């Protein structure tokens, strides 16, 4: 049996989180069982038009982890793997909901490995109850007056109602 490393392990969980869902929270909670700390890195993607501002997304995520000091919320633009290396993260967490996610994520992981060998890609599947949830689906339902209770944290559900009012 090997001794536990003395350095704290850190993982980066990137995404646009527009908005954060219970599926995201499930992956973050499970990541915390594998790593000492997790940085939830809100990706700035100029090609996307988010519903919520960067500040709103950051605040919604922080509100989910008020009692968890092992989760940090940050923003990232540019190459994620360079950000991870700069933060001395051991891994990038990626969620896989369906087989269709795998091809893209696999290619991304291989490119990241080529760019920065010290950062691993870790793939996690959300719990079965969250496997169908995505931010896009939640926004679509909410935009048509659908009930998203139980799919997002309560404060996020309230923010969605306000946005689509």
Domain membership of residue 82 (yes or no) is yes
Please report the pLDDT score of residue 99 as a whole number. Answer: 74
Buried b (16+ CB within 10 A) or exposed e, 26-58: bbbebbbeebebbbbbbbeeeeeebbbeeebbb
**144 occurs within a structural domain:** no
Q: Which of 57, 94, 135, 139 is catalytic?
A: 135
Total tally of structural domains belonging to the chain: 1
Q: Is residue 98 part of a domain?
A: yes
Q: What is the pTM of this model?
A: 0.91
155 is catalytic: no
With respect to residue 162, please indicate whether it lies within any of the assigned structural domains.
no
Q: What is the pLDDT along the chain (165 residues), one digit of tens a residue?
A: 455 544 569 999 999 999 999 999 999 999 999 999 999 999 998 888 999 999 999 999 999 999 999 999 999 998 999 999 999 999 999 999 877 778 888 998 999 999 999 999 999 999 899 988 999 999 999 999 999 999 999 999 999 999 998
CATH of the domain at 36: 3.40.50.620
CA distance 152 to 146: 13
Domain assignment present for 146: no
pLDDT score for 48? 83
139 noted as active-site residue: no
Which pair of structure tokens corresponds to residue 122? Answer: 């870790």
What pLDDT, on the 0 to 100 scale, is given for residue 6? 40
Residue pLDDT, tens place only, 70-111: 999 999 998 999 999 999 999 999 999 877 778 888 998 999
Name the catalytic one among 48, 62, 117, 129: 48
How large is the C-alpha radius of gyration of the chain?
16
Nearest to 20 by CA among 54, 45, 48, 49: 54
Catalytic residue among 30, 37, 70, 97: 97
Note down the domain range covering 45. 10-131
117 is catalytic: no
């Amino acid at each position: 049996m090997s001794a536990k490393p003395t350095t704290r392990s850190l993982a980066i969980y990137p995404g646009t989180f527009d908005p954060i869902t219970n599926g995201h929270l499930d992956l973050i909670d499970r990541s915390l069982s594998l790593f000492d700390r997790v940085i939830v890195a809100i990706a700035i993607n100029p090609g996307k038009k988010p519903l919520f501002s960067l500040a709103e997304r950051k605040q919604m995520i922080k509100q989910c982890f008020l009692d968890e000091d092992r989760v940090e919320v940050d923003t990232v633009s540019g190459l994620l793997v360079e950000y991870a290396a700069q933060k001395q993260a051991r891994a990038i967490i990626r969620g896989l909901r369906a087989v269709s996610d795998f091809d893209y994520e696999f290619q991304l992981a291989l490119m990241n490995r080529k760019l920065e060998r010290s950062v691993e890609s870790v793939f996690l599947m959300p719990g079965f109850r969250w496997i169908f949830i995505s931010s896009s689906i939640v926004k679509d339902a909410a935009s048509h007056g659908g009930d998203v209770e139980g799919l997002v944290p309560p404060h996020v559900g309230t923010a969605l109602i306000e946005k689509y009012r």
